[in-house]
Amino acid sequence: MKTTARVLALIGAAMIVALGLSACGGMSKDAVVSVGGDEINKSEFEHLLPIAASQSQSAGGASAVPDPPDFKKCVAAAKKAAPKPTKGQPRPTDATYLSQCKTQYKTLTDQIMQYLIRAAWIQGEAADRDIKVSDRDVKKQFDKDRKQSFPTVKAYNEFLKSSGYTTEDLLYQVKSRLLSEKIQKEVLKGQDKASDAEITAYYNKNKKNFSQPATRSMLVVMTKTKAQAEKAKAELVAGAKWGTVAKKYSIDVTSKANGGKLENVPEGQQEPTLDKATFKAKKNVITGPIKTQFGYYVFKVTKTTKATQQELKEVKDTVKQTLISEKQQKAMQNFSKEFEKKWKARTECAKDYVTEQCKNAPKTKTNTTTTVQQPAE
Q: What is the pLDDT of residues 297-336, one digit of tens each?
A: 999 999 999 999 999 999 999 999 999 999 999 999 999 9
The rounded distance, in Å, linking the Cα atoms of 246 and 111 is 60
Distance between CA atoms of residues 264 and 237, nearest Å: 24
Cα distance between residue 296 and residue 267, in whole Å:
19
Average pLDDT in the chain = 88
pLDDT 10s digits, 21-30: 444 446 899 9
In the chain, which ranges are continuous DSSP H helix? 5-11, 42-58, 72-81, 94-128, 135-149, 153-163, 167-187, 196-205, 226-237, 242-249, 253-256, 272-280, 312-344
Alpha-carbon span 73 to 79, nearest angstrom: 10
Q: What is the tens place of the pLDDT at every residue in 168-225?
A: 999 999 999 999 999 999 999 999 999 999 999 999 999 989 999 999 999 999 999 9
Q: Quickly state the pLDDT bin for 156 (edges 50, 70, 90).
A: very high
- Confidence label for 1 from pLDDT (cuts 50, 70 and 90): very low
Output the pLDDT for position 60: 55
CA-CA distance, 49 to 149, in Å (whole number)?
24
Question: CA–CA separation, 90 vs 92, rounded Å?
Answer: 6
Q: Lowest mean pLDDT: which of 48-52, 233-237, 281-285, 342-346? A: 48-52
pLDDT of the residue at 61:
53
362 DSSP assignment: P
Question: Which one has a higher pLDDT value, 69 or 366?
Answer: 69
Length of the chain: 377
Cα–Cα nearest to 352, from 110, 172, 159, 164: 110
Distance between CA 106 and CA 352 in Å, rounded? 9
Residue 55: the pLDDT is 79
Q: What is the DSSP letter of 208?
A: G
- Three-state DSSP class for residue 309: strand
Contact between 285 and 300 (Cβ < 8 Å): yes
How many Å apart are CA 354 and CA 356, to the nearest integer? Answer: 7
Burial of 154 from C-beta contacts in 10 A (0-12 / 13-18 / 19+) = exposed
The rounded distance, in Å, linking the Cα atoms of 72 and 53 is 15
Task: Tell me the Cα Rg of the chain.
Answer: 32
CA neighbours closer than 13 Å in the CB half-sphere of residue 342: 14
Nearest CA to 187 out of 336, 36, 342, 320 is that of 336
pLDDT for 179 equals 97
- Give just the sign of the alpha carbon dihedral 156, 162, 168, 173: negative
Q: Which residues contact 299 (CB under 8 A, 6 or more apart)?
A: 218, 219, 220, 221, 274, 277, 278, 281, 286, 287, 288, 290
Specify the pLDDT at position 58.
63
31-90 residue pLDDT tens: 999 999 999 999 999 999 999 888 777 655 555 788 999 999 999 988 888 888 888 888
Q: How many CA atoms lie within 13 A of 352 on its CB side?
A: 10
pLDDT at 19: 40
What is the pLDDT at residue 63? 55
β-partners of residue 31 are 41
Pairs from 267-271 (Cβ < 8 Å, separation ≥ 24): 267/213, 267/214, 267/215, 267/216, 267/307, 268/213
